[in-house]
Amino acid sequence: MDEIKKASKHVLYLSYDGMTDPLGQSQVLPYLIGLTKEGFTFHIISFEKKDRFKVHQEHIQSICDENGIHWYPQKYSEGNPVFSTVWDIYKMKKQALKLHKEFNFVLTHCRSYISALIGLSMKRKQKVKFVFDMRGFWADERVDGGLWDLKNPLFKTIYNFFKKKEIHYFKESDYTISLTHNGKNEIESWEAFKTNKPKIQIIPCCVDTDLFNPSKIDVHQKEQLKSSLGIKSSDYVIGYVGSIGTWYMLEEMLDYFKIYKEKNEAAKFLFVTGEKPETINKVALTKGIQDSDIIITSCLHKDVPLNISLFDVSIFFIRPTFSKKASSPTKQGEIMAMGIPLICNSGVGDTDFVVNKYNAGSIISKFETKEYGSIDPKKELNSEEIKRGAQEFYSLEEGVEKYLYVYNQLS
């Protein structure tokens, strides 16, 4: 422990998401590993779901140990979502203050709105620099996603509480991290910031372009995977990767596929997802899509590039709500890094800006039959240009450099 204290720049990283969650592994640890090489020592407080923690604890702990990162996993409380969250906030704050007494943090890096409650408190009372890594308009996401019904007085009260806190986060944080230019522009348009704009650094959900690298795909493994999934060389594969969840529009994606399939018999729809196959098949059946045209598989994160390499084109439609202005789909950088063209919709973060800038695919503006029919996934695109776009806009190295700039300003 004495050796830890010798390091000059200790940073407290607070996350209500778990490091054993997929996003913890892809969107937290890679950045922190890069920043440890620049002289920062990290102390992570995260909240871990029981099942994931059981499976991935050893793996995450070994990553942290190898990189000099100190991890203090907390049990994510289940039960009543309001009371359990309040209890977890208490635990987070108690652990944060205990560690601060020991390590005297130069800054607190808070992932999203719940963690920022502690970061703001430590800024006000302990004078610790506060980085608000917003990750999106969280309170509005809860409403847009149907998780908080504002007709319910309790959820209305919680929503109003966090919308007020949101203004304090932007005003009092030493830096805010936004995933998108669209989100930054939205914040700066608010009345509270017309004359005094917050300091905002834009860092999208980045991708490890060393892992998502088509030149590292083993041709024999690729052929074996194709064969095991029943994909023929003559098939044209439209692919989707990731969970379906609240935001991704499964019905509309299947509508697009059905219309394309009517003109192109060789089309297959490949889902690389942890979702239960029946969830997808049930919806496909209502659309009149045959089981033989839908292929569903799952894989570990390290094998996602191999699975993506089977796609001729990738599709994702996301509900274009207000809160999605600040959203950066993790899958976009991964797919582009593999040189795979996209079919996606406008109104989500910087998605359409990036696709248009790097000629990386097709954008739809309306979820209508006529528009679906106008999109030809086989239009000629340059995979090298798509990969270059991923490297320029989403590379992990660029993300680490931007975080480093913020950290150096504050420490």
pLDDT band at 379 (very low <50, low <70, confident <90, very high): confident
The answer to whether residues 256 and 375 touch, using CB atoms and an 8 Å cutoff, is: yes
The tokens of 237 are what?
A: 């594969």
Would you say residue 131 has pLDDT above 90?
A: yes
Query: Spelled out in words, what is the top-level CATH class assigned to the domain 214-394?
Result: alpha beta
Residue whose structure tokens are 């274009």: 320
Q: What is this structure's pTM?
A: 0.91
Q: Where would I find the beta strands (DSSP E) of 311-378?
A: 313-316, 342-345, 361-364
Distances (CA, A) of 359 to 52, 327, 382: 38, 21, 8
Q: For residue 302, what pLDDT is reported?
A: 87
Would you say residue 42 has pLDDT above 80?
A: yes
pLDDT digits (tens, 9 = 90+) for 263-286: 999 999 999 998 999 999 999 999
> What's the whole-number average pLDDT of the chain?
95
Report the distance separating Cα 114 and Cα 119, nearest Å.
9
CATH 3.40.50.2000 domain locations along the chain: 2-205+396-410, 214-394
Instruction: Look at residue 93 and give its three-state secondary structure.
Output: helix
Which residue, among 172, 168, 179, 174, has the nearest Cα to 134 in the 3D structure?
Answer: 179
The tokens of 380 are what?
A: 């000629």
Would you say residue 372 has pLDDT above 60?
A: yes
Query: Spelled out in words, what is the top-level CATH class assigned to the domain 2-205+396-410?
Result: alpha beta
Q: For residue 218, what pLDDT is reported?
A: 96
The answer to whether residues 349 and 325 touch, using CB atoms and an 8 Å cutoff, is: yes
* 49 exposure class (CB count in 10 Å sphere: 0-12, 13-18, 19+): middle
pLDDT digits (tens, 9 = 90+) for 70-112: 999 999 999 888 999 999 999 999 999 999 999 999 999 999 9
Overall residue count recorded for the chain in this entry: 411
